[in-house]
A and B are shown apart, each in its own frame.
Chain A
Amino acid sequence: MTQKSLLTVDARTKKRNAAEKRFKAYGFAAISVAMLALVTLLTSVIGTGASAFKQTYATVTMQLPEDVLDKSGVRDIDVMKKVTTVGYTKILNQGLTDTVAALNIPHDLSNKDIGGMLSKEAAATIRDHVLANPELIGQEVTLDLLMNGRIDGYFKGRVTMESAALDSNTSPAELALAQALADAGVVNTKFNWAFLTNPDASDQRPEAAGLGVAILGSLYMMIIVLAISLPIGVAASIYLEEFAPKNRWTDLIEVNISNLAAVPSIVYGILGLAIFINFLEFKQSSPLVGGLVLSLMTLPRIIIPARAALKSVPPSIRDAALGVGASKMQSVFHHVLPLAAPGILTGVIIGLGQALGETAPLLLIGMVAFVREYPAAYTPDAGLFGEASTALPVQIYNWTQRADPGFVERASGAIITLLIFLLIMNAVAIFLRRKFERRW
């Protein structure tokens, strides 16, 4: 009888070892797929969105003729306001055509086509500039003006000569002229601060659309969420963790809270619509309603980590405080709470981050409305945070619903902005945890 050495691997062992290797490879593959998904997601969004932070402007010098802009000559603002953007568009077209002529660039475009290379927003820009500085009338001014979305897209690689030939909004000749102007230094692409400060713009002018109102609205809502869900969340978790007797009532609250944390966010939107808007008659699309809805949604998501933080403070701390004569309440507020504060704060920041990115409930309470006015935090009419506003994630959704391809770039750019805010918040949370976390 031949006996094999233990060191010679038999068929069964080989099979088992192969199975082992396969299993490990599956695990590695799973992680790779997850990583790949993350990388694809980020590169796709950043790839399309990064260009939103740059914008193409033309430096145009034009005459501001008095006989068009202020026939009366008295510089009365109310009279001057009667000249609409149509009047300014003509001045603009002339200004850009003159610039082109001065550079001796050959072309066969009409004045109107040349002027059309500028954004429809440009006329409003000069009008506002003139109304703010009436003394400029009759003089020559030089302004940096937005180019339209197609020309801007050409410099960012989104629009090509081939696609322009099929596009009724532009033509290869316009792109060629824009290229010549860029070579001459008249047309420049520079960092787009306006993207972060401008309000939204209408369907035809993606180049002018910005996140100003959305960022302000989101900021207001975060203030409300912080002011409501931080105190209530901390108070609730202190009660449940430190004082609540074990009975049916507190059991019910506990099950409730873990369920609320898992309720789909859109359900909170329905709640907000039914209770805050239909029943209490708060104003639609106001940051107040949005903030309240998000607060209710964030509350369980703050309570759960806050309870964990309180639980992690060892009982010896409480016992020591009680031993020297503190009441239960004093032991909690003077000793346990300060020690749990970093953990609670981390949970709060993460909860705020989730609230910042939440979209669905805000759609239902009317935040999809087109808002161009910066909302004030307080007005006597609308009350505290009562003015119509929009929010960062809703603005993104809004832009994805628009027809002009320029808005896809804007939406992705807005996502980059949103992700940067989230990144900062999470970095702060991680920093707090690293710096103040105590192991007992």
Chain B
Amino acid sequence: MLPLYVPLIATAFLAAFGFLIASRRALAVSGGDARKLAALPRQYGLNTTLSVIIPTSVVLIVGMIFSSLSGVLPFIVLGVAIFGFSYSIVRITPEFRARRYAEAWIKLVLIAASAVAILTTLGIVLSMLFETRHFFAQYDWKAFFFSTEWSPNFRGNSALGIIPLLWGTFYISLIALTFAVPIGLFAAIYLSEYATRRMRSIAKPAIEILAGIPTIVYGLFALITVGPFLRDHFAQPMGFGDSASSVMTAGIVMGVMLIPFVSSLSDDIINAVPQALRDGSLGLGATKSETIRQVVIPAALPGIVGAILLAASRAIGETMIVVLGAGAAARMSLNPFEAMTTVTVKIVSQLTGDTDFASPETLVAFALGLTLFVITLGLNVLALYIVRKYREQYE
């Protein structure tokens, strides 16, 4: 059996020397006068190099995915490389438009690169659909979507109802948005309409720092600072319970995380409202705040709604803050100081540690993931649709 690195080295060799040989040969067939050629000699060289590298890479990637081919793969790779090399050399004539062919190869690579995005989405959807089907083969889908009990049990007989998880997810997201939307929106309004240039140059980057902080940092902040603070100063004195991880903890910290998200999107949208609208309103005698409330915000409203929807999708899909701040108990309660749990927390807990990919307790994570994906995708598509539609108005 031929080890794989032999054809790889051969390919590299053919690619490098192919360049030299092809450009020499191009010059030779033109009788030493490059002006008679349809392309520059180095473009003939480039065409040969690409004719060797690109087909071999395709074969290599396909071959690695279908590992059953591994025995013959080195020979196929070698064959493709040699064929690409000889074919491109044979074709060299003064009339051969090498630049066009070389560029067609490059364009192929560019198209393949943009297809990766499609492949990723396909991979996400297919992998989750596939495993979710396994899950629903073992567990009744009605019980999954409509049961209000979540108590997985690795010895079997689990109750795997998604409702309590969705409840926790939406409750936490609601608190986060109630916190982040007014603050983010007012911050954006202040920065774009009132702040001096100097203040804007300090405050805007400072708020954006919040967006650059990894969520694990927010999670730890919830765990060691916000959680105990809320418990000691609000939950316990007011008799709401004595849990440091709670819906409120996760919600507030997530709200802080979302502030820059809401504010920078709203800022862009408010700035896109034409100055003429403001001038008209001010000219009629409205105060600045009246202008903002009655002219700028209504004009920017679709965009702001889009921004809020994007923030909501972020909140629903957020993982580390809720893993560290919200707790693990699947519970449906209205008390915001009680620990509850979310879809993402349960995905993490069902898929970490010792997992058995045949049991419904593990496979449920894929059904949860698919639900999460569908919800966030819906919100994103809706938000993008609204934002796009709105942008066309002033451009």
Q: Considering the chains assembled together, what is the distance between the CA atoms of A238 and B109 in angstroms?
A: 11
Q: Does B225 contact A (CB under 8 A)?
A: yes
Contact A260 B216 (CB under 8 A): no
Given A34-B259, A264-B344, are A400 and B114 also a contact pair (CB < 8 Å)? Answer: no
Determine whether A28 belongs to the interface, using a CB cutoff of 8 Å to chain B: yes
**Contact between B319 and A359 (Cβ–Cβ < 8 Å)?**
yes
Query: Is A163 on the interface with B (CB-CB < 8 A)?
Result: no
**Which of B118, B193, B206, B372 makes the CB contact (< 8 A) with A35?**
B206
Q: How far is the CA of A244 from the CA of B213 in the complex (A)?
A: 35
B317 touches A263 (CB 8 A): yes
Given A28-B190, A264-B318, answer yes or no on A422-B210 (Cβ-Cβ < 8 Å). Answer: no
Given A44-B225, A232-B113, A264-B316, verify A353-B217 contact (CB < 8 Å).
Answer: no
Report the minimum CB–CB distance from A402 to chain B (whole Å): 12
Chain A minimum-CB-distance residue to B214: A357
Contact of B183 among A19, A33, A274, A300 (CB under 8 A): A33
7 cross-chain CB contacts under 8 A = A23-B293, A30-B184, A34-B259, A236-B117, A266-B319, A266-B347, A412-B220
**Interface membership of A124, Cβ < 8 A:** no
Known A263-B124, A270-B347: A20·B289 in contact at CB below 8 Å: yes
Interface residues of chain A, those whose CB is within 8 Å of chain B, are 16-17, 19-20, 22-24, 26-31, 33-35, 37-38, 40-41, 44-45, 48, 231-233, 235-236, 238-240, 243-244, 252-253, 255-260, 262-271, 273-275, 278-280, 296, 299-300, 303, 327-329, 350, 353-354, 356-360, 363-364, 366, 368, 393, 396-397, 400, 408, 411-412, 415, 418-419, 422, 426
User: What is the bound-complex CA distance between A40 and B127, given in angstroms?
Assistant: 41
B124's closest neighbor in chain A, by CB?
Answer: A271
B263 and A19 contact, CB distance less than 8 A: no
Would A364 and B216 count as touching, CB distance under 8 A? no
| Residue of B115, B224, B292, B376 contacting most chain A CB atoms (<10 Å) | B224
The smallest beta-carbon distance between B198 and chain A, in angstroms, is 14
Q: Considering the chains assembled together, what is the distance between the CA atoms of A244 and B320 in angstroms?
A: 38
Contact with B111, one of A239, A268, A271, A358 (Cβ below 8 angstroms):
A239
| B324 proximal to A (CB < 8 A) | yes
Kindly provide the distance from the CB of A211 to the nearest chain B CB, expressed in whole angstroms: 14
List of A residues within 8 angstroms of B317 by Cβ: 263-267
- For residue B13, CB closer than 8 A to chain A, the reply is no
Interface size class of B (residues with CB under 8 A): 35 or more
Partner of B210, one of A29, A38, A266: A38
B residues bordering A, Cβ < 8 Å? 65, 99-100, 103, 106-107, 109-118, 120-121, 123-124, 127-128, 130-131, 182-187, 189-191, 193-194, 203, 206-207, 209-210, 212-221, 223-225, 256, 259-260, 263, 287-290, 292-293, 310, 313-314, 316-320, 323-324, 344, 347-348, 351-352, 357, 365-366, 369, 372-373, 376-377, 380-381, 384
A296 to B115, CA, bound (A): 12
User: In the complex, A360→B351 CA distance in Å?
Assistant: 11
- Cβ contact of B344, chosen from A22, A255, A258, A266, cutoff 8 A: A266
> Which one of A265, A359, A418 has the highest number of Cβ atoms from chain B below 10 Å of its Cβ?
A359
Structural contact, A40 and B225, CB atoms closer than 8 A:
yes
Would B110 and A296 count as touching, CB distance under 8 A? no
Q: Is the CB of A359 within 8 A of B107?
A: no
| Minimum Cβ distance to chain A for residue B312 (Å) | 11
Do A360 and B320 form a contact, CB below 8 Å, given A20-B288, A327-B103, A415-B216? yes
